[in-house]
Amino acid sequence: MANPRNIQEDNQEQTPKAQEVSGVEIASDSSLNMEASARSATESYSQAEQPETTNPKPVTHNMEVHHHTHHPKKWKEYFWEFFMLFLAVFCGFLAELQLEHYVEHQRERQYMVSMLEDLKSDTAMLSNNIQERLERVSMCDSLTLYFDKQIDQTLTGRVYFYARTASIPCNLFPSDRTVQQLKNSGNLRLIRNQAISNNIMLYDQNLRGANFEMSDEQFVRAAYRNAVVKIFKGSVLNTMVHDKWIYPPVGNPPLYNTHPDNINELLGTAQYIKRINQAQLQKSTTLLQQATELIKQIETAYAIN
């Protein structure tokens, strides 16, 4: 039988050790719990910082699936597929061609409407030019008749007026905007009526020829004016001009110099003035006839009122 005291002492010795061991275990458990809590907090914080991402799963709807046939196509099926494709392309080509023709026809009509406006403007200009040319020819004839006879001092006012106005130029200013557009842009081909196209080009050619010949008229007018100032007083000629118009002088002022050489020079240059006006008169008359005929042709062919 053991000694009670010793057992008690042993128990007393063991108790502090056990307490020490359990204290270590408790401390270890506490540290583990703290580490776990810290780790959990860190993970929670990191999860809170990162945005939540969702990965939607693809959803497959019911789709119509064409299964390949397991038997080869017949040649008729290939033929009909080719025929339908060819027909679609051909119809598209026809539609585009028809649209292009429609656009070209509309442009052609617009050009003809513009051409009509130009021609009507030209007819008014040519009619005025013809009238002015006739007056110039008549003035030159009157000067010749006056100086061929004995000088009548009661008619000098009229002679001053004829001599002053006979050298006024009669220029042509045609409206050629449409013709120039047709030629420069290559759109003359749009005019399907070949007769109208030819007449337009002929009319334009005659207009340019008339304007070209008018360059020679400038030299003749300069020579005529030099002859005029040798016979007529410059002071009187100056009083006859008001704004852009020329009026007869007041009364019958005397001539400056009636020397036969001066008169001969005046009448000689006056005949050149007359001849140039006659030539241009003929050209203007032809141009007026061509323009009038073109107007009728265009109005009839394109039904333009």
Residues 26, 22: Cα–Cα separation, whole Å:
6
- Taking the CA atoms of residue 113, residue 118, residue 123 and residue 128 in that order, the dihedral angle to the nearest 10 degrees is 150
Residues 48, 34: Cα–Cα separation, whole Å:
21
pLDDT of 62 reads 56
Q: What is the tens place of the pLDDT at every residue in 79-113?
A: 777 778 888 887 887 777 777 766 778 888 899 99
Highest mean pLDDT among 179-188, 215-224, 283-292: 283-292
Residues 198, 195: Cα–Cα separation, whole Å:
5
The answer for residues whose C-beta is within 8 angstroms of residue 297's C-beta and 6 or more apart is: 193, 195, 196, 199
Answer whether residue 34 shows pLDDT above 70: no
The domain locations on the chain are: 90-302
Residues 207, 119: Cα–Cα separation, whole Å:
12
pLDDT of 12 reads 43
User: Distance of CA 280 to CAs 206, 220, 229, 277, 284, Å?
Assistant: 11, 14, 26, 5, 6
List the single range of 43-47, 62-66, 182-186 with lowest mean pLDDT.
Answer: 43-47
Q: Token pair of 283, please?
A: 């050209």
Q: Token pair of 272, please?
A: 């050149």
Q: What is the largest CA-CA distance in the chain?
A: 197
φ, ψ (nearest 5 deg) of residue 241? -100, 125
Higher pLDDT, 270 or 149: 270
| Three-state SS at 242 | strand
List the single range of 74-78, 187-191, 281-285 with lowest mean pLDDT.
Answer: 74-78
| Three-state SS at 245 | strand
Residues 305, 299: Cα–Cα separation, whole Å:
6
pLDDT of 93 reads 77
Residues 204, 198: Cα–Cα separation, whole Å:
10
